[in-house]
Structures are given as C-alpha cells and as structure tokens.
Amino acid sequence: MDTLLQKLRAVAEPTRMRLLALCAEEELTVKDLTEIVTQTQSGISHHLKQLCESGLLERRQEGTWAFYRASSQEPGRRVVTALLSLLPAGNDQLALDRERLRML
C-alpha cells in the first residue's frame, strides 16, 4: 500500500499531473515541457524528479539530453493508465497542453 500512496502523492499536484499526461503521449525533454507548461526549468525538473522517484515516469539519458516518458514497468504503468483514465475529457488546461505539444 505504501508504494501506491507514494505514487498518488506524486501526482497530487496539478503541474505534476499535467507532466504525467504529456509524458504519456510521447517522450519529452525538460525544454519541451517548459515550453508546453510555461514554467521554469528548475520547477519542471523538480516535478520530474518526484515523478521519476515515485516510479510513474522513466528518464532516459542521451548525451546531454534527458528524455522523460510514462513508466513501462509495473506497478507504475498500471497506476499511470488508471490515473489518466480518470482525467476529465474536456479539461481546458490539458487540451491547451496537447495543442502546444503538437506545435513542437
């Protein structure tokens, strides 16, 4: 139960939930995410660290770039799928994030 609670605490903040939703769509860098979410690099990095530590995101290093995506490992993958299924379909902020993602 502690593992699940850790994951839920990690997404119990709007920005982290937005980042999780975006990283479930495709693999993204901190630079990509700062442009989409319009927050500082340090703030985004802090949120990503928490999501990675909780097992909801995976980080892949390629040279000097770090890429983030939704976890492909259990139980993180199941939790991500369940959480994303609960997101409201008509949420304006999530729709704007997806639009900005398409423009990258």
Contact 62, 51 (CB under 8 A): no
pTM: 0.95
* Residues 26-73 pLDDT 10s: 999 999 999 999 999 999 999 999 999 999 999 999 999 999 999 999
